[in-house]
A = this chain, B = another copy of it.
Amino acid sequence: MDSSVRPYSQVYDTLRNVGLRPTRQRLGLARLLFDNGNRHVTAEQLHAEAANANLRVSLATIYNTLNQFTGAGLMREVVVEPGRSYFDTNTSDHHHFFHEDTAELQDIPGDAISVSAVPEPPAGTRVKRVDIIVRIKG
């Protein structure tokens, strides 16, 4: 709970649990991502943030890590803009506002919006996820 006393133990366990070796880079990135509430980041943003926090990580590792975290179910990818991927630390059922002016994402809690009557998926397929993006402008 007190990150000044046990700065890495939480994320350390998290990484162990999903079978990822707790390396310096993964521990540092996990802390940036998970110790500050729900976050929506692009690879470039996280890279800049890491540099800022004195964490030396290459951009390739940022991409690897974001993809591994997503594959492990610790994050999810949100696709809202052509040519750029956002990663979301909130994996619970919820949706998004997308500010078209600032290119920022904002959570909509799962219970604040819902889809009535999701149509039957085509024969032979099953629904993997329903994404709702509410695009807004200033």
Interface membership of A37, Cβ < 8 A: no
Residues of B within 8 A of A137 (CB): 125-126, 128
Binds B, one of A1-9, A25-33, A112-120: A112-120
| Contact stretch, chosen from A12-20, A48-56, A78-86 | A78-86
Does A127 have its Cβ within 8 Å of any Cβ on chain B?
yes
Asked whether, in the complex, the Cβ of A136 is within 8 Å of the Cβ of B122, the reply is: yes
**How many positions in chain A have a CB within 8 Å of any CB in the partner chain?**
38
A135 close to chain B: CB less than 8 A: yes
A34 within 8 A of B: no
Q: Write the A60-81 contact mask toward B (1 if CB under 8 angstroms, else 0).
A: 0000000000000000010111
